[in-house]
Homo-oligomer: A and B are copies of this chain.
Amino acid sequence: MTAPVLPALSTAPANGVARRNARVAVLGASGYSGQEFVRLSIAHDGIAVGALVSREHAGRPAAELMPGLDSRLAKLPDPVQPQALPALFEEGAFDTLVACLPHGAFRAFAAEHADWLARVPRVVDLSQDHRDGVEGYVYGLPEAFRDSLAGASRIANPGCYPTAATLALLPALELGWLAGTACITALSGVSGAGRKAALGTSFVELDGGAAIYRAGEVHAHVPEMTRNFARLSSRPTAVSFVPQLAPMARGILLTAMSPLARPLAPEDAHAAYAHRYRDETFVRVLPPGSWPETRAVKNSNRCDLAVTTVHGGRTLLATTAIDNLVKGAAGQAIQNLNLLLGWPEGWGLPVHGSPW
């Protein structure tokens, strides 16, 4: 009897791929998505972190940048200021730039550093600055738009809410099921608000309660959702969105409901979704009667999904759970990098969640 093998990470490439082949500079390394990218890179044999950029931490030891890291064992490069990047690039310290800056900041950085940046072979931007496809950036949601990534060298990494929303409605949109409006509610862990000193995200203000914020059509992620839905369906889809903050560090739990153009049985909705996602490593369609929870995907790059119809088959109900820092940010960035570099798409990415 052969004992089963349990992969923690999806498969590595066949022999012949050089270890630590991609040398990455992380711009904005002190934020949550920057730190998560470094953390995941440690377990990815193809990626070496060659430079860390943090205005606040430049000049201080790398260990202070990342709580939990044991600097006796992890030899991180010392954090530097943004202006040190060009020289490091010329020295060959890195060939790939992963930008984890707040919205607006990378666009400003790129304008200022256009020259050498043009020569960087690969750039992945985790902010929303290039998600509308400007300046040659390709929107990096592989499960929806994998073909468009072939040969790309500039990736706009999707937002966390739009990732969860697009995966929730993708098969229905492709099949032309929806009658043109989508009502989306979601709750997010607090890391989604970024890593900064702010009374509004302090422990005492948030522990033990939940809040709605910027509901309706005003959230910055609504145009990104609308754009994705328009690419996936010939019929325009109006989106209303109600984001909520829950007292937890990570995770997004999203519910989308939309009137259907034609009544649909719950089992037919489920079957179509299961078929569409049958080959996707990072999307798991749950059996009927099961519903997503954020713990099951915590620290993993997976999206758990449940789908049915209600109101006598006239309304679609689809729900998803992702880890906002992994599939919603740094993990998806690595998935995109794997594709850019011709590596197995899931290399180095955790597929199992760690619920507690």
Interface residues of A (CB under 8 A from B): 1, 3-8, 10, 20, 23, 32, 38-39, 41-43, 48-50, 67-70, 72-77, 91-94, 181, 183, 185, 187, 189-191, 195-199, 201-217, 238, 240, 242, 244, 246-251, 253, 255, 257, 259, 281, 284, 291-300, 302, 306, 308, 310-312, 314-315, 317, 319, 351-356
Find out whether the CB atom of B257 lies under 8 angstroms from the CB atom of A212. no
Find out whether the CB atom of A352 lies under 8 angstroms from the CB atom of B296. no
Q: List 23 A-B contacts (CB under 8 A).
A: A1-B93, A3-B50, A4-B74, A6-B42, A39-B354, A70-B351, A74-B351, A195-B202, A203-B205, A203-B206, A204-B356, A207-B207, A208-B249, A208-B356, A210-B248, A210-B293, A211-B253, A211-B294, A212-B253, A212-B306, A238-B310, A240-B310, A250-B356
Known interface pairs A1-B93, A10-B73, A48-B5; A294-B203 also in contact (CB < 8 Å): no
Find out whether the CB atom of B246 lies under 8 angstroms from the CB atom of A210. yes
Contacts of A292 in B (CB 8 A): 211-212
Q: How far is the CB of A287 from chain B (nearest CB, A)?
A: 10
Q: How far is the CB of A13 from chain B (nearest CB, A)?
A: 17
Instruction: Give the CA-CA distance A206 to B50 in the complex, in Å.
Output: 30
Find out whether the CB atom of B210 lies under 8 angstroms from the CB atom of A202. no
Find out whether the CB atom of A209 lies under 8 angstroms from the CB atom of B294. yes
Contacts of A352 in B (CB 8 A): 39, 42, 68-70, 73-74
> Which residue of chain B is the closest to A214 with respect to CB atoms?
B291
Known interface pairs A67-B296, A352-B73; A319-B215 also in contact (CB < 8 Å): yes
Find out whether the CB atom of B215 lies under 8 angstroms from the CB atom of A317. yes
Find out whether the CB atom of B3 lies under 8 angstroms from the CB atom of A248. no
Find out whether the CB atom of A213 lies under 8 angstroms from the CB atom of B20. no
